[in-house]
Structure 1
């Protein structure tokens, strides 16, 4: 392997749970307004199945589709209380930033050790995230100098890439690093992410089991599953 391509939330930083909580609050508010009898968003079931690892609007669409709900797309600047795909996404974004502003962003110690070891071994390193907050989170976590390339939700929007589970973002990162997919390893905690690694025919796909779903990670394409990437050292 010549390069490591890391997802951010749940792999390098402990922000996946913050994303999940923000999604739950945003969806539960919408569901109650849409149908007071609707079952709430289930973090353990709905988050990994429909939202985790995907671009924001894709997550909104996929979860709503699971409930038989279809909404207009809306516009980027829709109000957080708008019953549109963009509105719900903006509601989640506002909730997320409130929590991050209050609590900050913490990298996993094992991830920092792995990034440092990869750098020292001469391996190329990229962060590949569906989040449009990726750059701010990387900076807040203090790991920006350990990563050479960033492909994120902003890249998806600006370059017209397909988000995970399509392999586009990982392939774009490998290309920017100048490394063939077969010589790069993907590190992911989301089912959509390991699917993307498999679809892109990467040399190795490491599943990081933060949500007690080791079997599902393997079924979706992980070559190996660990609890933390520091375990690989």
Structure 2
């Protein structure tokens, strides 16, 4: 499914699974976290339910009870530090990422990140890969009240960029993220780093990519055509 070319002012990127192909390491860390708490957590549940949500939403769902702030901070740091330890040796951008960001910036498209990743994880990727200079705005979990599939993060990014949400394209890897982009009234591009193309398409993705090395002609027109 694709839309006719329309004016584009901004491109908003999720981080995990979108700028970096890291979701399997997050899944490993979540499964290990659950095991340490005496719980069983399936890979499928992480992928289906938790992707795109904030730790403040995930831990109560995982534990089946409210989680006091002090406990939440402690558990979240254990999980996230384990994830960074797992992914650190593999830290690399999705193929074609830097080239696409350079092309978008050269075309005058404003760039932002909107991610449920906590600050340390965002710094780990954006600074570790020297990608931060591309993005004029970075919206994190602490900036919104609801994680994806609520549109809050993408709407906050559009507001920070001072652009109309309808003039934004979102790059996402998760079903919750695609639904959030659609709820924000934005063009949704799904990456198949973790979720199959047909699942992303069913969630509402307008375009599907394996990576950024080659873009579908229709998406090329949206991103770089005459505006």
Task: Provide TM-score, normalisation by structure 2.
Answer: 0.83
Partner of 1:49: 48
2:122 to 134, 158, 165: 134
Partner of 1:207: 190
Offset at 1:41? 2.2
Offset at 1:212? 4.3
Contact 1:52 1:59 survives alignment (8 Å): no
Offset at 1:75? 2.1
For residues 41 and 158 of structure 2, the distance between their equivalents in structure 1, rounded to whole angstroms, comes to 35
Partner of 2:99: 113
For residues 166 and 130 of structure 1, the distance between their equivalents in structure 2, rounded to whole angstroms, comes to 11
- Encode CA deviations 1:3-32: one digit per residue, 9 max, x unaligned: 100001111112222211111110122235
Partner of 1:75: 69
Contact 2:139 2:157 survives alignment (8 Å): yes
Offset at 1:86? 5.2
Q: Any idea what SS the aligned residue of 1:127 has? A: strand
Aligned length: 207
- Encode CA deviations 1:54-82: one digit per residue, 9 max, x unaligned: 111212333x3xxxx52231223x3xxxx
Partner of 1:81: none
For residues 90 and 196 of structure 2, the distance between their equivalents in structure 1, rounded to whole angstroms, comes to 27
Partner of 1:21: 28
Structure 1 window deviating more from structure 2 (164-173 vs 206-215): it is: 206-215
Change (3 A) 1:94 1:26: same
For residues 213 and 154 of structure 2, the distance between their equivalents in structure 1, rounded to whole angstroms, comes to 21
- Encode CA deviations 1:121-159: one digit per residue, 9 max, x unaligned: 111100111011213321111111111110012323xxx
Matched, 1:183 2:167: yes
Contact 2:20 2:91 survives alignment (8 Å): yes
User: Relative contact order (C-alpha < 8 Å, sep 6+): which is higher?
Assistant: 2
Offset at 1:93? 2.0
RMSD over aligned Cα, in angstroms? 1.9
